[in-house]
Amino acid sequence: MKNVILLSIIAVAGSLSACAPAPLTKADVDGLVVCNSDWMDHIEREARRENKEVHWVHCPQATLRVVS
């Protein structure tokens, strides 16, 4: 019984590892627009200091650039 469970765990782990996404290349990342989490953190910390509330409707965006 232990062997069957062990084999099934190995089979599931093997099948899940085959579904891992391919790593991003420089061409994939360059120009990608993402939320600017550093700026959001700065604004939220400043709001906490001033005892204000922040409700994000749209996040501030940043464009990623790859430097070679």
| 9-68 pLDDT, tens digit each | 888 877 776 666 777 788 777 888 889 999 999 999 999 999 999 999 999 998 888 887
25-28 contacts: CB < 8 A, separation 24 or more?
26/66, 26/68
1 versus 45: the higher-pLDDT residue is: 45
Amino acid at 29: V
For residue 28, the surrounding DSSP H or E stretch is helix 26-29
The pTM (predicted TM-score) of the whole model is 0.54
Domain boundaries, the chain: 24-68
Phi, psi of 2 (to 5 degrees): -65, -35
